[in-house]
Structure 1
Amino acid sequence: MQTPASHPGIHIDLAELIEMRHRVHEVPLFSTPARRSPLIGLHHSKLRGRGVDFDQVRVYQPGDDVRTIDWRVTARTQEPHTKLFHEERERPIFIIAEQSQRLFFGSGQCFKSVLAARAAALIGWAALGHNDRIGGLVFADNEHHEVKPRRSKQSLLQLLNLLARANQALAAEASPASRDTFGMALRRAREVLRPGSLVIVLCDERALSDNAEQQLTLLARHIDLLLLPLSDPLDHALPAAGLLRFTQADAQLELDSHNGDLRQAYRAQAQAREARWQRLAQKLGVPLLPLSTQAELVEQLQEQLSALRPRKVV
C-alpha cells in the first residue's frame, strides 16, 4: 500500500490533521469576545444550572426572571436589580467520527473518510482553543476507540492519531460490516457522557437507521447535538455514463445508467435520506450542517454558518 502522501484526498495522516489548527480562525464554530458564533446556542441550552458563575448586577428589566432579583441591592437602592450569570466556557465536547468502509469513497475533492477526519480535526482544535474539554469516539466497521474528554492538547492529539490510524487502515478490497456500528457508537456515547455535553456527529449520510435515529433522540434529551452527515455527489445522482460496474470483495453489480427510471429512483432515494436528516434535526431542534466531498471543507462551513446567522431587519 502506498503512503497517504502519494494519494492526496484518499488517505490522511496525523501531520495533516495537526495542520488543520491553522484554519480554525477562518470558521466561527465557537464564540470569542470579538466574534459571536451562530452556534452559540449549543453552549447555553442544557447546562441546567451546572457550571454557572455570577457575572454582575444590573437594573431589573421586563422579562427578567424574578428568581434572580438581588434583594439586598434592591433594598439598598430602592430600585429592582437582578443578578446576571454566565456559563462556564469549559464543557465536554465529544466528537463521534466515522471511519468505516462506506466512507472510503469519493468522486469530488477527497474521499468521505478524509472529509470526516478533517472536519473532526478542525472542530477539535476550535474546541481546545475555546478552553473546552475535548474527547471523542472513532468507529470503524469492526471496532471503535474512545478518548475521554480532557482540556489538554494531548487528549486531542490522541483522538487525531486514532482518526489517522483508522483512516489509513481503510482499503478498497475490504468488506463493510453488517452491524449498525453508528447506532452502537451513539449508544456508547449515552453511557459515558454526562448531561450538558456537546456531541459532534460526523457520519455517512446513509448511516441514519431506525436504531441510530432512536439513539440520537435519546441523546438529545440531555446533551446538545451538532449533526454533520457526509455525502458525495454520486450518492445523490448517477451520471448517464452507460453500463457501470461495481465490485466489492467477491460481489459484483452492473447498472445501466442510461435507464432514466433507474436514475430517477436513485435520486429519489437520496432525496429521502436528506429529508430524513432534516426532519430529525427539526424535531430535535439541533443544527444540521451537511458536508459534501464536492467542495472544500472550510468554505462549506463558512457558507453553512452564514446561513444560520440571524438576518438584520432593515
Structure 2
Amino acid sequence: MLPTDVIKNIRRVEIKTRRMAADFFTGHYRSVFKGRGMEFDEVRQYSPGDDIRSIDWNVTARMGEPFIKKFVEERELTIIFLLDLSRSCVFATTTRLKRDLAAELSSVLALSAVRNNDKVGFIAFTDKVEKYIPPAKGLKHVLRVVRESLYLKPQGKGTDIAAAIEYLNKVSSRRAVVFIISDFHAAKYAKALSIANKRHDVIAVTLTDPVELALPNVGIITLEDAETGELFVVDTSSAAVRNQYREQATRIFEQRKRLFTASGIDHIEITTDVPYIKTLIRFFRMRERRLNR
C-alpha cells in the first residue's frame, strides 16, 4: 500500500493536470500529433466530386459501375516519455524541483493522450535505464506513470541520454511521439538523438532553473555538482565572475539549441520560475501553424 501522503500528492497532480488536458490540450494535442498514416475503411459507390485516383478498378470492373476506396486516418499513437531522474534534476532555487515539474509535464501530456485513446509508455533514466513501463492505454496506467515520475528512487546519479535513447530504439520498433524531458546536462548524445528522430517524432523538453542561467549577487557561496559531488567556491559579489558565468551558460544553451535544430528536433524550453502552461501553448500553436502550411 502507498502512504496516504503519496496517494494525496498523486491525486493532486492528476486533478490539476486533468483539468489542463480537458480545457486546452486535448484539441491541440490531436491536431499536432498525427496518426501513423491512412488505413482502409470501406469500398463505396463513386459520387460526383470524389477523387478519381481513389477508384477501385477491380471492384468497378466486377460491378459495372465505379466504386472508390475510402480511407481514414490511423489515429492511434504511442507516446513515450524519457524522463531524466539524475541528481541534477533534484534541484531548485524556486518553489519547484525540476523533477516535480517534469512529473507534471508528463502527466498533462499523458492525460491528453489517454483522452485520445493513445498508448503511453515510460522510460526513466539516469546514467542507466532505471525503469521501463511498456506503452498501454487507460487512466490507471497513466497514474502509474505519474507515480513513478514522482516517487521512483533511482540508483544512478549522472545523466546518459544516449543510453536511454538506445534503449528506446530496442524496445520500440513502431514509430512513436517521444518526449525527452531532461536538463540535458550530458555529453555525446547528438548522434543517438539524430538517429532516433529518423524513426520517431522526438521532442526535447529542457528543464532549467534560473540559477543555471545567471548567478545572483549573494557573496561567497559553495556550489556542488549534484552528479559528481565536486565542490566549487564562488564569489558571486564579483561582477566579472557573474558575467563569465552568464556568458558560459548562454554559450552552452545556444550550442544545445543548434544541436536540436541540426537534428530536426522540436524543442520546448521550460524554466522553473515561469508557468509551463504558457510555454506548452506556444509550442502547440507553433506545431499547428507549421502543419497547416
Please report the TM-score for the alignment, with normalisation by the length of structure 2: 0.80
Question: Is contact 2:100-2:150 (8 Å) kept?
Answer: no
| Corresponding residue for residue 212 of structure 2 | 235
Instruction: Give the Cα separation in 1 of the matches to 2:65 and 2:40.
Output: 24
| Corresponding residue for residue 43 of structure 1 | 34
Q: Runs of 5+ in structure 1 lacking a partner?
A: 7-11
SS of the residue 1:289 aligns to: strand
CA shift at 1:205, angstroms? 3.6
Q: Runs of 5+ in structure 2 lacking a partner?
A: none
Equivalence map 1:1-314=2 (5 Å):
13-19=9-15, 20-28=17-25, 31=28, 37=31, 40=32, 42-44=33-35, 47=36, 52-54=39-41, 59=49, 68-70=53-55, 72=57, 85-140=71-126, 144-166=130-152, 169=153, 177-178=157-158, 180-207=159-186, 209-210=187-188, 212-247=189-224, 251-310=230-289
SS of the residue 2:266 aligns to: coil
Question: Is contact 1:197-1:223 (8 Å) kept?
Answer: yes
Instruction: Give the Cα separation in 2 of the matches to 1:53 and 1:69.
Output: 11
- Per-residue CA distance 1:276-306 (angstroms, 9 max, x = gap): 3322332233321111101122233223334
Q: Name the amino acid aligned to 2:39.
A: V
Instruction: Give the Cα separation in 1 of the matches to 2:68 and 2:241.
Output: 64
Change (3 A) 1:289 1:85: farther
Aligned residues: 278
Question: Is contact 1:227-1:286 (8 Å) kept?
Answer: yes
Instruction: Give the Cα separation in 1 of the matches to 2:286 and 2:198.
Output: 26
Question: Is contact 1:107-1:234 (8 Å) kept?
Answer: yes
Change (3 A) 1:273 1:308: farther
Q: Name the amino acid aligned to 1:269.
A: Q
Q: Name the amino acid aligned to 2:98.
A: K
Question: Is contact 1:205-1:231 (8 Å) kept?
Answer: no
Instruction: Give the Cα separation in 2 of the matches to 1:54 and 1:274.
Output: 47
CA shift at 1:196, angstroms? 1.8
Question: Is contact 1:241-1:257 (8 Å) kept?
Answer: yes
Instruction: Give the Cα separation in 2 of the matches to 1:59 and 1:275.
Output: 51
Instruction: Give the Cα separation in 2 of the matches to 1:280 and 1:74.
Output: 52
Instruction: Give the Cα separation in 2 of the matches to 1:285 and 1:82.
Output: 37
Please report the TM-score for the alignment, with normalisation by the length of structure 1: 0.75
CA shift at 1:309, angstroms? 4.6
Change (3 A) 1:205 1:265: farther
CA shift at 1:16, angstroms? 2.9
Question: Is contact 1:52-1:86 (8 Å) kept?
Answer: yes
Question: Is contact 2:120-2:135 (8 Å) kept?
Answer: yes
Question: Is contact 1:108-1:232 (8 Å) kept?
Answer: yes
Instruction: Give the Cα separation in 1 of the matches to 2:209 and 2:178.
Output: 23
Q: Name the amino acid aligned to 2:264.
A: G
CA shift at 1:31, angstroms? 4.2
